[in-house]
Amino acid sequence: MDDKNGDDKSKTVYSEININGRNGDDGAYAQVTSGAQSTYNQCPAISLDGSIWPMKDTRRRKDETEREKAERLVKLSGAVKTMLECIGEDPDRKGLQKTPDCYAEAFLFFTKGYEDDLHEIVNGAVFNENHEELVITKDIEIFSLCEHHLVPFSGRMHIGYIPNQRVIGLSKLARIAEMFSRRLQVQERLTKQVATALSEVLQPKGVAVVIESSHLCMVMRGVQKTSATTITSCMQGCMRSTAKDREEFLNLLNRK
Ligand SMILES: [Zn+2]
């Protein structure tokens, strides 16, 4: 169901969901990760106020004033000018005069997910619904930046979940995908963060996230495998434990 289209039986249950990511007033963040230990969940996979991990500068960017925003742009633009000098270009030649400012703005857009807040995204769009069958949204386009090379990777994300009396507005799935992909990422972590965010918000019976993408750092440099696709998946709850549920999801994904 779409969140703009709530019917009479639907009821917003957002207020019942404990979505506070913080412990008390000290600014520390609750651990919200579940699942097997991996490289990434030594730290929480997500924090619900929008930062990946408790990084103070993520919060600073979200909360900054217009003046601080302007200062950030000037600083970033200066760094881009330095990059141009470092590659042997002349940042003062005509074609490049505006490039540092343009790139600084673009780079902030590419990473705008740091300013998103899961709480704000899902607010009002979680509904009580007596539906316990698989829900899938396929082919959500994603654009992200590889955190090792700051080079784009892009592709498609598929999200499925089996509700436990709670469903989320479908457009919100794409917004959650956007929130986590518009950051510096590795594909594995992005996959897991979206799955974990949905688990936290909906407490569903199961969640599955699959990403198929192409990494420019593989295509343009290094091994130069132009047609290589990287597929990652993260299954939680019954999608992980029950073969039947997982197969239903994968079969529906593969159907053209
Ligand atoms: Zn890379």
Residue 123 CA to ligand 1 center (angstroms) comes to 34
pLDDT digits (tens, 9 = 90+) for 82-98: 999 999 999 999 999 99
Pairing of strands 184-185, 22-23: unpaired
Average pLDDT over residues 97-113: 97
Task: Please state, in angstroms and rounded to a whole number, the distance separating the CA atoms of residues 194 and 114.
Answer: 14
CA–centroid distance, residue 149 to ligand 1 (Å) = 4
Mean pLDDT, the chain, as a whole number?
81
3-class secondary-structure state, position 240: helix
Name, in order, each residue with C-beta under 8 angstroms of 25's C-beta and a sequence gap of 6 or more: none
CB 26 within 8 A of CB 179: no
The pairing of beta strand 135-146 with beta strand 184-185:
parallel
**How much is the pLDDT for 32?**
35
Percent over 90 (pLDDT), the chain: 61
CA of 124 to the centre of ligand 1 (A): 37
pLDDT band at 146 (very low <50, low <70, confident <90, very high): very high
- Phi/psi for 127 (5° steps) reads -125, 145
| Domain residue spans of the chain | 57-114, 125-254
pLDDT given for residue 3 in this prediction: 42
Cα-to-centroid distance, 27 and ligand 1 (Å): 32
Among the CATH numbers 3.30.230.10, 3.30.1130.10, 2.30.42.10, 3.40.980.10, which is that of 125-254?
3.30.1130.10
CA of 147 to the centre of ligand 1 (A): 6
Higher-confidence position of 18 and 184: 184
**What span, in angstroms and rounded, lies between the C-alpha atoms of 112 and 103?**
14
57-114 shares its CATH topology with 125-254? no
The pLDDT of residue 27: 33
- The band of 9, judged by pLDDT with boundaries at 50, 70 and 90, is very low
pLDDT at residue 63, rounded to an integer: 84
pLDDT value at residue 41: 39
- The whole-number average pLDDT for the span 23-42 is 35
CA 217 – ligand 1 centroid, Å:
5
CA of 168 to the centre of ligand 1 (A): 33
Q: What is the pLDDT of residue 57?
A: 73
> Going along 89-165, which residue ranges are E strands?
126-128, 135-146, 152-162
Residue 26 has pLDDT above 70, yes or no: no
Query: Virtual CA dihedral for 178, 184, 186, 191, nearest 10 degrees?
Result: -20
| pLDDT digits 0-9 by tens, 194-233 | 999 999 999 999 999 999 999 998 888 766 777 889 999 9
Task: Tell me the CA–centroid distance for residue 51 and ligand 1, in Å.
Answer: 22
Q: What is the 114 CA–ligand 1 centroid distance (Å)?
A: 19
**What is the per-residue burial (b if ≥16 Cβ within 10 Å, else e) of 185-220?**
bbbbbbbbbbbbbbbbbbebbbbbbbbbbbbebbbe
| Lowest-confidence segment of 21-25, 64-68, 158-162 by average pLDDT | 21-25
| Residue 55 pLDDT grade (very low, low, confident, very high; cuts 50, 70, 90) | low
Provide CATH code, domain 57-114. 1.10.286.10
Tell me, in angstroms, the distance from the centre of ligand 1 to residue 144's CA: 11
Q: Record the pTM.
A: 0.79
pLDDT of residue 47: 58
**Closest Cα partner for 229 from 153, 152, 136, 137?**
153
Neighbours of 229 (CB within 10 A): 12
Q: What average pLDDT does the segment 126-136 reach?
A: 91
Lowest-confidence pick of 96-100, 169-173, 219-223, 233-237: 219-223
Question: What distance in angstroms lies between residue 1's CA and the mean position of ligand 1's atoms?
Answer: 37
